Amino acid sequence: MYNELVAPYGITVSVGFALLNIDVQKGTPSTALGPKMGMESTSLSRVLKSMEKQGLIVREPNSNDRRSVMIKLTESGKEKRNHSRKAVLGFNEKVRESIGRDRAKEFFSTLEEITAVMQEFRSDEAR
């Protein structure tokens, strides 16, 4: 569903999700982005490389920690982020209208819990 909504803007759900998780003003340390998105480092590296090629992000040294890199949005990245944000918010609002606010709240809460279980499962399997 989300892929269909953002495809006209030349992005995928993975790229859109990454854009939404990068701080618009300060950027986000690359080390914080993976856990925030629930992605493994190899998958995240692939997404970030693609985003960099598309001119959506730049990588800059992290002034607080020289071992990591800050991921910052370019103007194009900010524009695509707005498209992603509108798609997500629009869809979420449509869900709320269709099933009611309380059920939608429970639905999204359940999705968050399932995501947490998946991340825990992945961690357990990696050991």
Q: Taking the domains of the chain in order of start, what are their residue ranges?
A: 2-126
**Which residues of the chain are modeled with pLDDT < 70?**
126
pLDDT tens for residues 54-76?
A: 999 999 988 887 788 999 999 99
pTM over 0.85: no
Structure tokens at 1: 């569903």
Residue 97's alpha-carbon distances to 50, 90, 102, 108, in angstroms, are 35, 11, 11, 14
What topology is assigned to 2-126 in CATH?
Arc Repressor Mutant, subunit A (1.10.10)
Structure tokens at 73: 């949005």
